[in-house]
Structure 1
Amino acid sequence: MILLVALLIIPAYFTPLWQISLWAPQYPEGLNMKIWIDHLSGNVDQINGVNHYIGMRHIGDEMFPEFSFLIYIIGALIALGIIAFLIGKRWSLYAFFGLMMLFGLAVLADMYQWGYKYGHNLDPKAAIKVEGMSYQPPLIGYKELLNFLAYSGPDTGSWILMGGVGLLIVAIIRDRFDKTVIN
């Protein structure tokens, strides 16, 4: 299972990892931004046009330094998963699981921090100002921001990675079960 999980990390290079969507009366079909391992795609220009009015910074690949090194971190996770498989010891399973969990938590913390800065550091000269309002997008789930409904959540690549972590949990449960049967 460890080898399968290591190989399941590979699609992170070819599928979007996260998505942010916005709906409003003037955008009933919605605006969608996809976050990949090394770039953004989707309606980024339209989102920037809307966000300009409330003083949010321009969204672009250059504002994500993570794009320059995330490909290496993902590659290291794949390599460490293969090494854990080759070692084939209980501790290598737990170590790989710990690294995967640490990676997931670090990504969520980084995304929260980005969203906080992005939604709170507004241009004071913006055309639309609502006193005391911040425009931090949700980390996961839905949130109303003025007349927009915003959604943020995992996309294909993250679902595959989470499935891999689920398989590691199954492997750990099997290890625990097998240990109690042997003892």
Structure 2
Amino acid sequence: MIIGSLCLLGLFAFPLWNIMLGAPQYPDPLGMNIHISGIQGVSEFDLQNIDGLNHYIGMKTIPKADEMWEFNIFPSVIIGMVLLGVILGILGFFQKIDYRYFLGWFVLMSILGIMGMYDFNLWLTDYGSNLDPHAIIKVVNEDGTPMSYKPPLFGYKKLLNFDVSSMPATGAWFMFAGMMLTVVAFFVGWKSKKS
């Protein structure tokens, strides 16, 4: 339980999510890494180049860390969950609490993760759909409605001549591994109690 909770600290060292944009005119794809405290380009000028491309179709600029409340809240939530998990692990080790608290931590972390993904998807939808009507380039669907440039929440999507992929990054895998360890801790506690 303690080790699983501490795995969440990987989110402070590694990005949570990665979005890559490849096109014939960009042999080296452009990319952005989404951290719990802000968005960074995969390479030095990636965010600047993505913003430049997005300007033509009327998309907003990629937000700075202080422009999204999530980047102020997420680090505190992660620290809180790490501390809670470590405390539960210590109390469990000294048999002061029941193993079911470990499952409670996992459920709470899962709910927070789902809420985070839902919020991320809302941001992607707004970012790719709420376009400036005075943009230089206007591309429409076959039915005449404005095309959405929303990147996928997870997976691959073709947006005009860009191949866009959106995948969990190293920090997400640390979080996933940590959460699985807390489930293992629950089953170890359950088996121990049963025997």
Q: Which residue of 2 aligns with 1:25?
A: 24
Unaligned runs of 5+ in 2: 93-97
Q: 1:146 aligns with which of 160, 163, 182?
A: 160
1:113 paired with 2:122, answer yes
The Cα of 1:32 is off from its aligned counterpart by 0.7
Deviation, 1:60, is: 2.4
Distance (Å, rounded) in 1 between the aligned partners of 2:67 and 2:26: 25
Give the C-alpha shift of residue 78 in structure 1. Answer: 0.6
Secondary structure of 1:167's aligned partner = helix
Counterpart-to-counterpart distance in 2, 1:3 and 1:65: 29
1:46 aligns with 2:49: yes
Aligned residue runs from structure 1 range 120-139, under 5 A = 120-131=129-140, 132=145, 133-139=147-153
**What residue number does 1:55 align with?**
58
Shifted more, 152-161 versus 125-134: the winner is: 125-134
Distance 2:123 2:67 in 1: 10
Identify the residue that residue 66 of structure 1 maps to in structure 2. Answer: 70
* Deviation, structure 1 residue 174: 3.9
Q: Distance in 1 between matches of 2:27 and 2:135?
A: 25
Which residue in the other structure is 1:3 paired with? Answer: 2
Question: What is the CA deviation profile of residues 37-65 of structure 1, one whole-angstrom value per residue up to 9, with x for unaligned ones?
Answer: 21221111111011111110011214322
Q: Distance in 1 between matches of 2:174 and 2:135?
A: 40
- Matched-pair identity in %: 39
Stretches of 4+ aligned residues off by more than 6 angstroms: none
Kindly indicate whether the alpha-carbon contact (under 8 Å) linking 2:103 and 2:183 is maintained by their aligned counterparts in 1: no
Q: Does structure 1 retain, via aligned residues, the 8 Å contact 2:5–2:182?
A: no
Instruction: Give the whole-Å Cα distance in 1 for the aligned partners of 2:30 and 2:71.
Output: 22
If the length of structure 2 is used for normalisation, what is the TM-score? 0.86
1:86 Cα offset (Å): 2.2
- Which residue number in structure 1 is paired with residue 85 of structure 2? 81
Distance 1:81 1:95 in 2: 10
Q: Distance in 1 between matches of 2:110 and 2:182?
A: 10
Number of residue equivalences: 180
Q: What is the letter of the counterpart of residue 119 of structure 2?
A: D
- Distance in 1 (CA, whole Å) between partners of 2:75 and 2:10 is 12
Equivalent residue for 1:104? 113
> Any idea what the Cα deviations from partners look like across 1:72-118, whole Å, max 9, x if unmatched?
11110111101211221222111111121112111111111100111
Measure how far apart 1:177 and its partner are: 4.8
| Contact persistence 1:10–1:78 (CA under 8 A) | yes
Letter in 2 for 1:91: R
Partner SS for 1:4: helix
Contact 1:85/1:92 (<8 A) preserved: no
Structure 1: segments with no counterpart, 5+ residues: none
What one-letter code is carried by the residue in structure 1 that aligns with 2:109?
A: M
